[in-house]
Amino acid sequence: MADTAGIHLRWSGGSSDLEWKNFIRWFECKSNFLLYSSPASFDIVPKRAFSPEQLSEFRGLLAQNISAK
C-alpha cells in the first residue's frame, strides 16, 4: 500500500512502514519501480501489483514525494 505518508509493505512473516523521507530517488523500469534509500540500496516494487489506474496514482505519489533520477 502507498499513501501520502509513505510505503506500507506486508508479506508472509513481516511488515514494514517506510516514510517518503527515507527515499532519496526512484527509478522506473519495464516491470518494477526501484525506490532508493541510499546510493547502493533500494526496495523493489513490482508493477504487476497495480492496476493501470493504480500505476498512474503511484507515479504521482513518487513524483510528489521523491526526486526521480
Flag whether pLDDT at 17 surpasses 90: yes
Flag whether pLDDT at 68 surpasses 70: no
Residue 69's pLDDT is 60
Residue-number span of the structural domain to which 6 is assigned? 2-65
Q: What is the mean pLDDT of the chain?
A: 92
Q: How many domains does the chain have?
A: 1
- Return the H-helix or E-strand segment holding 43: strand 41-46
In which band, very low, low, confident or very high, does the pLDDT at 67 lie, cut at 50, 70 and 90? confident
- Return the H-helix or E-strand segment holding 62: helix 52-65
**Cα dihedral: 15, 21, 25, 28 (round 10):** 40
Spatial distance between the Cα atoms of 12 and 24, rounded to a whole number of angstroms = 27
Residue with cell 523521507: 21
Amino acid at 40: A
CATH number at residue 36: 3.10.50
**Per-residue pLDDT tens for 24-34?**
999 999 999 99
3-state secondary structure of 58: helix
Q: Report pTM.
A: 0.84
